Structure 1
Amino acid sequence: MSVWNVLWLIIVSFAFVAYLFLLFAIITDLFRNHQSSGWVKAIWVLFLFIFPLLTALIYLIVEGNGMAKRSAAAEKQSRSETDDYIKHTAGTNPATQIADAKKLLDAGTITDTEYQQLKAKALA
């Protein structure tokens, strides 16, 4: 196998993997789009399998802005759910933080000003 054949194989493999990423991104966006009907989604998927590259390019042109907005909204929702889960699991709600700081104040571990700082931080 010559160097050019190896280089060509690398380029074609990269293009194929890039196309697969694009295909999965489009299919994910299709099912994330709640404004389109099921028939429209079915037509897009059908054309993605019949004319894959052309349909992918047309979809990016037609739905590119909506794709970005839906992706950002999904990321924001996912981050919010993760933060809520971490807060719930860790038990670090403001009331717990203030109660822990009050225990430290009562034990004499921290001063009143440090307690007020911790309380203000928990309520922020």
Structure 2
Amino acid sequence: MSDYPLLSAFLTILWFFLWVMWFILLFRVVHDVFSDDSLNGWAKAGWTLFVCVLPFLGVLAYLIARGRSMGERTVRRAQAQEQAFRAYVREAAASAPTAGRSRADELATLAGLHDHGDITDAEYKAAKAKVLVP
């Protein structure tokens, strides 16, 4: 038998995951401090110093004081990234080389896809009809 009982192993794993969660929260707070454009340099320095000198109290105070706006900023950044991605896809699709291709080129591409087995017979016929109809 082992000298390390199951409950001790469970508590060790629990403490390890709490430790990991703490560091994730700490890094998220520090990231939010530096990515917030509404804070001036002194406020950023103050929060960073507070979080580094008294980490538990600093993170708790930051979450109480700025927790709601932290979530709102995260959502706004995600929405801005989504809009930028959609704009990029629209721009890339508009400038795709297929825009200036002839019908013969598109039919040759479709035939190659069909011969290679990438599209089924039904998909090939539907795409071919789409290309041939003006």
Aligned residues: 109
User: Per-residue deviation at 1:47?
Assistant: 1.3
Q: Which residue in 1 is equivalent to 2:124?
A: none
Question: Are 2:108 and 1:93 aligned?
Answer: no
1:79-124 deviations in whole A, cap 9, x for unaligned? 1222223333xx4239x99878xx59xx99349xx87xxxxxxxxx
Contact 1:32 1:70 in 2 (8 A): no
Choose which of 34, 41, 57 in structure 2 pairs with 1:31. Answer: 34
Structure 1 match to 2:129: 109
Runs of 4+ in 1 over 4 A off after TM superposition: 96-100
Q: Which residue of 2 aligns with 1:58?
A: 61
Matching residue's letter, 2:54: F
Matched residue, 2:15:
12
For normalisation by structure 2, the TM-score amounts to: 0.66
The residue aligned with 2:110 is none
TM-score normalised by structure 1 residue count: 0.70
Gaps of 5+ in 1: 116-124
CA contact (8 A) 1:23 1:56 kept: yes
Q: Distance in 2 between matches of 1:19 and 1:86?
A: 38
* Structure of higher CA gyration radius: 2
Identity of paired residues, percent? 24
RMSD: 2.9
Structure with higher RCO (Cα < 8 A, 6+ apart): 1
For 1:67 and 1:97, the matched residues in 2 are separated by 44
